[in-house]
Amino acid sequence: MTTANKIRVVIAEDQNMVLGALAALLDLEPDIKVVACAANGREALDAVVKLTPDVLVTDIEMPLMTGLEVAAHLRGTHPAVRTVILTTFARPGYLRRALDAGARGYLLKDRPAAELADAVRRVHRGLRVVDPALAAEAWNAELDPLTDRERQILQRAGEGRSTAEIATALRLSEGTVRNYLSEAIAKLDASNRIDAARIARAKGWL
């Protein structure tokens, strides 16, 4: 098979050893070509814009932009690029958010390597690939009550940032940040912002 006929893939993963292993494994496939590797979400987005691959394989938690943020951005700007989320998070909340962001595949890192190559081929054909057990669990899972803004603020609060730091980063007033935090804490029936972040992360909402 010529290079021109191969499925062109960009891989995004912030752990260098894992990134190298994934690239090597996929490059062994006769019909797949890894055209770029990215160590953070911003690099992944830039690589996709520059190279317009067929498939992006990305982790969820990465520096600068999460895999879910990249997927959501590409859904609007490069809808022909299919996104596969490859993660350790076997949580229904993450799966729901990934599908809402436009991802076509959701695989766990502990699955056999051959399943990743098969998932790349299937999403390239326009199919959706999700672990059946996780999909069934997600169907009955609790709905995420947080808004995108509440999630942004709660994530930063969970990292230990002050109200003033969050307000500066998101260009909001401190009063507005406190209001969003109060809403999130109430929705999650939490005792404080750190407890709310812990609950949301455990459910895959953060």
CA distances from 74 to 52, 82, 155, 170 (A): 10, 9, 22, 22
* Whether 36 and 109 share a structural domain: yes
* Whether 99 and 173 share a structural domain: no
* Whether 176 and 133 share a structural domain: no
Q: What does the pLDDT read at residue 96? A: 82
Question: Which whole number is the average pLDDT over 15-33?
Answer: 91
Q: Which domain holds residue 156?
A: 148-202
* Whether 162 and 134 share a structural domain: no
Question: Which whole number is the average pLDDT over 113-140?
Answer: 81
Query: pLDDT category, 56, cuts 50, 70, 90?
Result: very high
Most confident of 36-50, 103-117, 131-145: 36-50
* Whether 157 and 83 share a structural domain: no
Cβ neighbors of 22 (< 8 A, separation 6 or more) are 11, 13, 57, 86, 116
CATH number assigned to the domain comprising residue 188: 1.10.10.10
* Whether 103 and 37 share a structural domain: yes
pLDDT, the chain, mean:
88
Strand partners, 105: 84, 129
